[in-house]
Amino acid sequence: MKRLLVLGVGNLLLTDDGVGVHAVQDLGREEEWDLEKVDFMDGATFTQDIFYIFQRYELVLVLDTVKGGREPGTVYRFTEENLRDNYQQRLSLHDIDLLDSLKMAELLGNKPQLLVIGMEPLTISDWSMELSAPIREKYPKFLEAARREIRALLA
């Protein structure tokens, strides 16, 4: 069993909805990571269908778009408990599907700890594979938040 799965979630075709997928692709190319301990995976929008993959990990860090009503580019951090205990924190359909996947993984015998690093989008309804200008500008901050979390989880 590996220590950590970094899972990028979203739709690359819908502008900022793909920020998690862009991030997992960029982070996965970095040479800093011990690939004996961490995997980077593009989960696209199949968050409810990948519960069986969770069997192989102690921890899952999800990178995703999170609609929280703040300024585009705002970075959020949530634990599974935040998402479950506070209905207002259920900010994304992806996150709700992930909670269902965790429950299914638990029924199969292994429920990893879940953390979410999310970014407030400007738009998730425009057809484009490019991030919007405000998200591109703050994207390095999102990557750095993810790097800090990965380092902490692998320590």
Which residues are bridge partners to 60 per DSSP? 5, 114
CATH topology of domain 2-154: Rossmann fold (3.40.50)
DSSP label of 131 = P
- Model confidence, pTM: 0.86
Which one has a higher pLDDT value, 86 or 58?
A: 58
**Per-residue pLDDT tens digits for 112-137:** 888 999 999 998 888 989 999 999 99
Which pLDDT tens digit goes with each residue over 90-110? 455 455 577 777 777 777 777
Report which residue type is found at 144.
E
Mapping DSSP to helix (H, G, I), strand (E, B) and coil, where does residue 116 land? strand
Domain ranges of the chain: 2-154
* pLDDT of residue 89 exceeding 50: no
